[in-house]
Amino acid sequence: MRFILRRLGFYLIAFWASITLNFLLPRFMPGDPVSRMFARTQGKMQPEQIEALRKLLGVDSRPIWEQYVDYLHNIVTGNMGVSITRFPTPVTEVVASQIGWTLLLGGTALVVAAVVGNLLGILAAWRRGGAIDSALPPLLIFIGSFPYFWLAMGALYLFGMILGWSPLRHAFTDGLEPAFSWEFISDAGAHLVLPALTIVLVSIGGWMLGMRNTMIATNAEDYITMAEAKGLRPGRIMFRYAARNAMLPSATAFGMSLGFVVGGALLTEVVFAYPGVGYQLLNAVQGLDYPLMQGLFLTITAAVLLANFLVDILYVRLDPRVRSN
């Protein structure tokens, strides 16, 4: 329990740090974002819009601590302002309409990569020097060396344009209404496969190598020899004795990768024009939509922190040593 409370405190501090970063960035950067944005929209902004922006971004004559208290209050009450590029939609609404797609894409890719990668790692360590162990790691390291967006664009070009196996962009066919129908779900699934596969391809190597290296250490433990001496079936030793004890670093890595799910899918979403928060973040940056940018960043951070907290709770279940402390 104390462990959980400690972690909770830590995540709250981390969240506070990211809010503060968000608050300070526009205020201490050279140049005035409001006039930059005003110039860009060529005077089409409403006076009340400018006023709201000045407040949000601190082009404001009040003392800075007062602005800070105000800002914190707004964030805590979920008031993140109004999007500029999609005026007058509130930022929270824009974020809410997009986070689902990101979670779907990133979550699918993460689970597939972690499960397959760990299984491959277990097999590779079990048959040390076998086919999987000698052929896959160098190949996966090599694939992992490519810039991710480059592989994704290559895959899009090959499978999307030349072979025509995959749709080129978006999360579902234009004009289709999101609904719980077979038609929509299969369409969304078809749009999901290629982006998710590219993420799996580049991230699977890390899972496999990490698992392999821990498992090699576990395989040398005395209790494995003991299990063999007892004449247990190899499959049982491999999964219940060796792999189970080698899982902990992978569980930690899983928590860290959850950050990749929400944040790291940015490049995937950009290449495949997938309507998630990362794609929206880049659009907000290009459109100088500061309120949306900040809202998205805070949402992504909050999601990462929450996911990590859940993994911590799970960790208490997995590792008795944490419980006893």
Residues that bind other proteins (CB under 8 A): 10-11, 13-14, 17-18, 22, 25-26, 29-31, 33, 126-129, 141-142, 144-151, 153-154, 156-157, 161, 213, 216-217, 219-220, 256, 259, 262-264, 266-267, 270, 278, 281-282, 285-286, 293-294, 296-297, 300-301, 304-305, 308
Q: What is each CA distance from 35 to 50, 174, 203, 282, 284, in whole angstroms? A: 9, 36, 42, 20, 16
Q: How far is the CB of 22 from other proteins (least distance, A)?
A: 8
Would you say 20 or 181 has its CB closer to other proteins?
20
Residue type at 321? R
Cα–Cα dist 232/249, whole Å: 26
> What DSSP character marks residue 178?
P
Would you say 171 or 209 has its CB closer to other proteins?
209
Cα–Cα dist 24/28, whole Å: 6
Would you say 45 or 151 has its CB closer to other proteins?
151
Q: How far is the CB of 284 from other proteins (least distance, A)?
A: 8
* Token duo for residue 86: 């999609």
Q: How far is the CB of 48 from other proteins (least distance, A)?
A: 24
Q: How far is the CB of 155 from other proteins (least distance, A)?
A: 11
Q: How far is the CB of 153 from other proteins (least distance, A)?
A: 6
Would you say 68 or 184 has its CB closer to other proteins?
68
Residue type at 114? A
* Token duo for residue 266: 């940015």
Would you say 92 or 188 has its CB closer to other proteins?
92
Q: What is each CA distance from 93 to 90, 201, 218, 244, 289, in whole angstroms? A: 5, 33, 49, 43, 15
Would you say 181 or 223 has its CB closer to other proteins?
223
- 182: part of which helix (H) or strand (E)? helix 182-219
Q: How far is the CB of 219 from other proteins (least distance, A)?
A: 5
Cα–Cα dist 54/56, whole Å: 6
